[in-house]
Structure 1
Amino acid sequence: MTGRSGVDRVIVVIPARNEEELLPRCLSALAVAIGEVGGVAGRVSPVIDVVVVLDRCSDGTAGVASHWPMFSSISTNGGAVGAARRAGVRHLLPTPDRFTAATWIASTDADSAVPPNWLSVQLGFARNAVDLVLGTVVPDDGLSDGVRERWDAQHRLVEGHTHVHGANLGVRADRYLHAGEFAPVDGQEDVRLVSALRGLRVSEVRTALIPVLTSGRLAGRTPAGFAGYLRDQVVLAP
């Protein structure tokens, strides 16, 4: 398939920094989501490649990743989640000519678990000429009851939501390249990319159909990551 609707290749990029405890949950959930794509009747399944980007890992994350031989892994020393995402994309799409409209880039995180329909829903939107899919996230049981109540009060996870999460984002590869790729920064790389994509006036869908379960911890791996958001905007908010 070619053009702005068909997708014949999907790449999934997962940055990981010291995530030996949560990476098995992430990869198990992703394997299920990949299986769901293959189970769509009457559709030719795209080729799906996954890379775990081991960014300055000093624990057993690399060993965990090695137990999933169907997924590749690379090591980086950038120490920034944006640089890790960018490196993962470049590993699977090494030259500019690989960034075509028929390739879809899906981004999540090692501390997260995608739902079974995560890829199939994104590909459904892509078949309808959508270039950018923004999903929602839901904290796991790491949140205390009081913080959970605050989270629920502040977040309406509905169609047309206003959230941007690198843990739940999909984009057509040519649009991604034209937007300048993920910035090599330690936080807000997802927001920067989406802002650049909107500047290109890409076709966008903001959906609550594919909520990604993510860590509810308040001490995260990056200062500007989701844990920092939970701590500053939910726990410490007046």
Structure 2
Amino acid sequence: MPAHNEEEELGPALSAIRHAADALSAGNLRREVQAADARRAEDSAAEAGTAQGPQVSVSITVVLDSCTDGSRDIVRAHATADARVRMIETRARSTGASRAAGVMAALADLEAERGTNPDTVWLANTDADSRVPTNWLIRQVELANAGVDVVLGSVEPDSRTADPGILRRWLELHPFREDHPHIYGANFGVRASAYLAVGGFPKLQAHEDRILATRLSRQGFVIRSTDANRVVTSSRTTARAPQGFATYLRTLGELAPVTADIA
């Protein structure tokens, strides 16, 4: 998760990710209990193995990019409370470069700790001004286990602070449905082996998510778009990145309102 001067949003964003990680861990525990119950009931070995399912561990990497506010202290507080949270710092001033640095740091940590097979590592990406739902990781892991290589989730501008006109236009242009055509860095999951095969996030200030998704599609990786784990993201219109999400929302606000003739 990249962050540039996000002290207002970073705390809630990290809390939401930690809750999603807890939910995934709780799912692991339920599978273990189900497997134990199956064994006690002397079910077949195949049934017990299916009930147990694969175990999943989670690490959370925050990339502070050229931060001059209190973002560092916020991440440190979360890292003190939760060993899964890790922080790196960069001066790239680039969302793409920050995402790429975070992925490589996370993979390096994983390799150093226990070794890794990129086919069994899932990279779930979001933004520091966004709040993921509790099922965010659960749904991605379910799809990964079903053979999906890339999960393109949906997002929704925060209705608490969004301009009503902008929010209305957003909803008209971005209906919430499965198999939607949109790509958001705030809700982008990818198998590590697929990510590495196409060179990862390009080190650009904007559109790194779209470029990566295009490369993955061209290489034939299995891509699934879903609205089942929708992320709430900032509705601000002051851009932190050129041509980023805030710029797009501001453009929507500048559009003429939709009108219709009534007979």
TM-score normalised by the chain length of structure 2: 0.82
User: Is the counterpart of residue 237 in structure 1 residue 224 in structure 2?
Assistant: no
Q: Letter of the aligned partner of 1:109 in structure 2?
A: D
CA offsets per residue over residues 22-53 of structure 1, 9 Å max, x none?
A: 00110111111011101112145311111110
1:53 pairs with 59, 63, 78, which one?
Answer: 63
Q: Tell me the secondary structure at the aligned position of residue 63 of structure 2.
A: strand
- Answer yes or no: is the 8 Å Cα contact 1:52–1:65 preserved in 2: yes
Give 2:15's aligned residue. 28
The runs of at least 4 consecutive aligned structure 1 residues that moved more than 4 Å come to none
Alignment of 1:163-182 (within 5 A): 163-182=182-201
Tell me, yes or no, if the aligned pair for 1:133 and 1:206 is still in contact at 8 Å: yes
| Equivalences, count | 223
Match of 2:139 in 1: 121
Match 2:164 to one of 137, 145, 150? 145
Aligned mate of 1:78, from 65, 69, 92? 92
Contact 2:92/2:98 (CA < 8 Å) preserved in 1?
yes
Provide, for residues 77-134 of structure 1, a one-character-per-residue CA deviation record: whole Å limited to 9, x for no partner.
0000000000001111137x85610000000000000000000000000110100000
The residue type equivalent to 1:58 in the other structure is T
Gap regions ≥5 residues in structure 2: 32-52, 257-263
CA RMSD of aligned residues (A): 1.3
Distance 1:49 1:118 in 2: 14
The answer to whether the 8 Å contact 2:97/2:202 transfers is: yes
- Equivalent residue for 1:6? none
Separation in 2, partners of 1:195, 1:237 = 28
Structure-1 residue corresponding to 2:244: 225
Instruction: Give the 5 Å matches for 1:87-106.
Output: 87-94=101-108, 98=116, 100-106=118-124
Structure 1: gaps (5+ residues): 1-13
Which amino acid counterpart does residue 73 of structure 1 have in structure 2?
M
1:161 and 1:73 map into 2 onto residues whose CA distance is 33
Q: TM-score normalized by structure 1?
A: 0.91
1:65 to 2:75 alignment? yes
2:210 is aligned with 1:191 = yes
Give the match's secondary structure for 1:79.
coil
**Contact 1:187/1:223 (8 A) holds in 2:** yes
Other-structure match for 2:126: 108
- Aligned-pair identity in percent equals 38
**Secondary structure at 2:118's aligned position in 1?**
coil
Residues 37, 45 of structure 1: 8 Å contact kept: no
